[in-house]
Chains A and B, each alone.
Chain A
């Protein structure tokens, strides 16, 4: 059963044990015999029956169910073997799972009794570089019935699940929010562990009928665990199974029932009438796709984004040595947000001729003298003046976003700053390097403060505030004709980003820490932080009235060095999930 102990570090910071096949096999041996754990009573739906499942990929499974926890199974006519199993039913849907003795494999089977249509998920360990990552292959088919024709239709992959959000509470007490964000990925939040962040993983979505859908999630780049359930969309009920090793290497193999809530539906961007779905096929030539099952036709193949193992990593010495590139070009290669500035707002001369002080509550005092549209002088805490390249944008009248590097700072800081010159308030996302995990990975702190300048009535008490206004929202961002994404602000501390396919469907998805500050009504300063994933800090001012953002990227890599770059995109509001209430600290699980 799942551990509800909060993780010692966020999921993307854990060092998952490289389990060997022998270790995995030893852990599986007892549950192969006993079957999965369960909190609810197992179904006796199949007891005393035999069942033959025929699939379109020529896999046949012959079952004999000797009790509600023991069966024999023959794969493709081979000698039958005995194994433990667990079954749960949900009206007309029967779900059961078992493992195969002497192997690292098993099955999860979904049968729609009235139609006999069946989907079999073969699951196995050892198929990827990390042996602990569960692989899956999907077989659609049917239950053979003597004297009856095979059903013509099958369960189908579809985009009709795309864009839905669910709260689930399993019978074992485990609570999650599952965003069915794309046709091939999912984003989930472990409420039971009080997780501040949500995470993204490859998923499958198959439609059984108008009411029932099959969902799977493989936590690639994390524990590698596999979750599958059948969801009754109208009743918000689920039956399913989890298989895998948790962060402490304890084996989870259990079936569950759950009840939940529908949390909303965001927009889809495929053409009307397009209901195509299915896992994305891997591009073997792409970064991170070269592992096993990368060939599009390989068993278990699908596109998986694997930033944790593809991120370029620099030492502190290398970070200290890299050159800088500040607003070198909106399409400049190697600047961490290259290609993300084509739709940027024009740079503004608003600051030219102004001298002002940004006094932050942290104690930091930054003085500025601005002489040109791209050059300013700054000094920190009354120190020496330093000349820096900057750019400024005006995402709303009187609100200026500007950014510059702090040359000479030991952690090579960069400031992305929003100043409301009408209100006299400032918020700074202070990017810096040499964090505790990866030296060239940007870290961020949020600084609140005030502006001191002639003509400004500097507030004593008022400050910009963090906001949950964006929590649950999804906004598409079109950076250039060929580069778009959709942000999903899934928790008060998470920005998730979704890549569209050529057909306009949501495709791959990833996520990182986020922070969100309200500047004015419908005007927000937000960041996404690509921790363990390229290391970029992306900062944007989101204007919900114009649906245009203005942004600044901060990145350190071998190719582009330490860079600050322009970000800008045209937005579309894709909708909002009703999730804020789940993140209230007073909420009881």
Chain B
């Protein structure tokens, strides 16, 4: 499956899997976001944008396939994965609304429109719920529109890692 075809995929995966459309284009023109001068700086910035785009696409691939261990290797630390807690599935149907680089050149952030399904356990205080849980079921899914805010940090080897993921209420 191509990345493009995944980007339009709207099906939801069970058990904490995530379906997200990959970043198709970076919304902010690269040149306008440049902080440095000269062709070398422009080239470096374009390389950073591509690296983050690839990082985001890779993250999407891993979470789409349910390979959270592989996705975790894209995080700067364990905290980033916490954003997925309680979220059963995500579909992002728009491109990133912005990619911004900090002046230090070591941090960046992007925002994506996302549609998520939140999985909540039915409170086990009535019989049907208790029995559902005993069967390994008993979860309720609700859909919500969110904004996925992703923070990135430059790694020691010059690459990028996901520092923080935050599904903010739209």
Does chain A have a CB within 8 A of B2?
no
Of B5-13, B25-33, B35-43, B136-144, the one with at least 4 CB within 8 A of chain A: B136-144
| Bound CA–CA A508/B132 (angstroms) | 8
B104 within 8 A of A: no
Q: A169 at the A/B interface (Cβ < 8 Å)?
A: no
Asked if B134 and A287 sit within 8 Å, CB to CB, the answer is yes
**Considering the complex, which residues of chain B in the window 132-165 have a beta carbon less than 8 Å from any beta carbon of chain A?**
132-141
The answer, yes or no, to whether A501 is at the interface (CB within 8 Å) is yes
- 29 A-B pairs (CB sep. < 8 Å): A280-B136, A283-B133, A283-B135, A283-B136, A286-B124, A286-B130, A286-B133, A286-B136, A288-B130, A288-B134, A303-B135, A305-B134, A310-B130, A336-B126, A339-B122, A339-B126, A340-B126, A340-B128, A479-B128, A482-B122, A482-B139, A482-B141, A483-B122, A497-B128, A501-B135, A501-B137, A507-B131, A534-B127, A555-B126
Given contact pairs A339-B140, A497-B127, a sample of 20 additional A-B residue pairs in the complex whose CB atoms are under 8 Å apart: A281-B136, A283-B133, A287-B133, A288-B134, A289-B134, A304-B134, A305-B130, A310-B130, A334-B123, A334-B125, A336-B125, A336-B126, A338-B122, A339-B126, A479-B128, A482-B139, A483-B132, A507-B131, A534-B126, A536-B127
The docked-state distance in angstroms from the alpha carbon of A502 to that of B141 is 14
Cα distance A168–B22 when bound, in Å? 62
Point out the residues of chain A lying under 8 angstroms from B137, CB to CB. Answer: 501-502
Complex interface bits, A331-344 against B, C-beta within 8 A gives 1, otherwise 0: 00110111110000
- Which residues of chain B are near A485, meaning CB under 8 Å? 128
CB proximity of A484 to chain B, nearest CB, Å:
8
Could you say which of B124, B127, B138 contacts A533, with CB atoms under 8 Å apart?
B127
Which residues of B lie under 8 Å from residue A502 when comparing CB positions?
137
**Residues of A contacting B126 in the complex (Cβ-Cβ under 8 angstroms):** 336-340, 534, 536, 555
Interchain CB contact under 8 A, A280 and B135: yes
List the A side residues contacting B130 at CB < 8 Å.
286-288, 305, 307, 310, 534
In the complex, the answer to whether B129 meets A508 with C-beta atoms within 8 Å is no
Report chain A residues within 8 Å CB of B124: 286-287
| Proximity string of chain A (276-300) to chain B, C-beta cutoff 8 Å, 1 when within and 0 when not | 0000111101111100000000000
**Closest CB of chain A to B131's CB: distance in Å?**
4
Q: How far is the CB of B19 from chain A (nearest CB, A)?
A: 19
Decide: A286 near B123, CB < 8 A? Known: A338-B129, A339-B128, A482-B141.
no
**Cα(A111)–Cα(B170), bound, Å:** 64
Closest Cβ–Cβ distance, residue A322 to chain B (whole Å): 13
C-alpha gap A333/B125 in the complex (Å):
7
Residues of A within 8 A of B134 (CB): 280, 282-283, 286-289, 303-305, 508
Expressed in whole angstroms, the Cα–Cα distance for A92 and B133 within the complex equals 41
List chain A residues, Cβ under 8 A from B127: 307, 497, 510, 530, 533-534, 536
Considering the complex, give the chain A residue whose CB is closest to the CB of B139. A482
B-contact bits for A505-516, CB 8 A (1 contact / 0 none): 001101000000
Q: When chains A and B are docked, how far (Å) is the Cα of A307 from the Cα of B130? A: 9
Answer yes or no: A557 CB below 8 A from chain B CBs: yes
**A-B residue pair count with CB separations less than 8 angstroms:** 94
On chain B, the number of residues with a Cβ less than 8 Å from chain A's Cβ atoms is 20
Judging by beta carbons under 8 Å apart, are B125 and A305 in contact? Answer: no
Within 8 A of A (CB), among B67-117: none
If the complex has contacts A338-B123, A340-B128, are A482 and B140 also in contact, measured as CB distance less than 8 A? yes
User: Would you give the shortest CB distance from A200 to chain B, in whole angstroms?
Assistant: 11
Docked pose: A559 CA to B134 CA in angstroms: 20
- Which residues of chain B have C-beta atoms less than 8 A from A560's C-beta? 125
B121 to chain A, nearest CB (A): 10
For B129, the chain A residues whose CB sits under 8 A away are 338-339, 483
A480 at the interface (CB under 8 A from B): yes
A536: B residues at CB distance < 8 A: 126-127
Q: B140 contacts A508, CB within 8 Å?
A: no
Residue of B nearest to A484 (CB): B128
Task: Check A305 against B131 for contact (C-beta < 8 Å).
Answer: yes
How far does the alpha carbon of A52 sit from the alpha carbon of B140 in the complex, in Å? 51
User: B133 contacts which chain A residues (CB < 8 A)?
Assistant: 283, 285-287
Nearest CB on B from A421, distance (A): 31
Distance of B168 from chain A, by nearest CB (Å): 25
Task: Report A-chain residues with C-beta under 8 Å of the C-beta of B141.
Answer: 482
Q: B150 → chain A, closest Cβ, in Å?
A: 30
Residues of A within 8 A of B136 (CB): 280-281, 283, 286, 303
Q: Is the CB of A510 within 8 A of B125?
A: no
Q: How far is the CB of A397 from chain B (nearest CB, A)?
A: 30
CA distance A210 to B114 in the complex (A): 52
Instruction: Give CA–CA (A553, B139) in the complex, Å.
Output: 21
Query: In the assembled complex, how far is the CB of residue A73 from the closest CB belonging to chain B, in whole angstroms?
Result: 36
Name the distance in Å between B83's Cβ and chain A's nearest Cβ. Answer: 23
Q: Name which residue of chain A comes closest to B124, CB basis.
A: A287
| Cβ–Cβ < 8 Å partners of B123 in chain A | 333-334, 338-339, 559
Q: How far is the CA of A407 from the CA of B118 in the complex (A)?
A: 38
Greatest chain A CB density within 10 A among B122, B126, B139 is at: B126
Nearest-neighbor residue (CB-CB) of B141 within chain A: A482
Q: Are A507 and B135 in contact (CB under 8 A)?
A: yes
Query: Which residue, of A289, A303, A482, A533, has the highest number of chain B Cβ atoms within 10 A?
Result: A482
User: Which residues of A have CB within 8 Å of B140?
Assistant: 339, 480, 482-483
Output the nearest chain B residue to A553 by Cβ-Cβ distance.
Answer: B126
C-alpha gap A530/B128 in the complex (Å): 11
Complex Cα distance, B131 from A282, in Å, reads: 11
A499 proximal to B (CB < 8 A): yes
Closest B-chain residue to A342, C-beta based?
Answer: B140
Which residues in A have their C-beta under 8 angstroms from that of B132? Answer: 483, 499
Q: How far apart are the CA atoms of A115 and B128 in the complex, in Å?
A: 42
Give the shortest distance, in Å, between B139 (CB) and chain A (any CB): 7
By beta carbon, the residue of chain B nearest A283 is: B136
Query: Chain A, 531-552, contact with B by CB distance < 8 Å: what is the 0/1 string?
Result: 0011010000000000000000
Interface string of A62-100 (1 = CB under 8 A from B): 000000000000000000000000000000000000000
Q: A288: which B residues are within 8 A, CB to CB?
A: 130, 134
Closest 10 CB pairs of A and B: A286-B133, A333-B123, A499-B131, A283-B136, A286-B134, A508-B131, A534-B127, A507-B135, A482-B140, A334-B125
- Shortest A540–chain B CB gap in Å is 14
Give chain A residues whose Cβ lies under 8 Å from the Cβ of B139. 482
Q: Closest CB of chain B to A508's CB: distance in Å?
A: 5
Distance, CA A226 to CA B164, complexed state (A):
55
Quote the shortest CB–CB distance from A269 to chain B (angstroms).
15
What residues on B are CB-neighbors of A286 within 8 Å?
A: 124, 130, 133-134, 136
Please give the distance in Å from A561's CB to the nearest CB on chain B: 11
Q: For residue A559, which residues in chain B have a CB less than 8 angstroms away from its CB? A: 123, 125
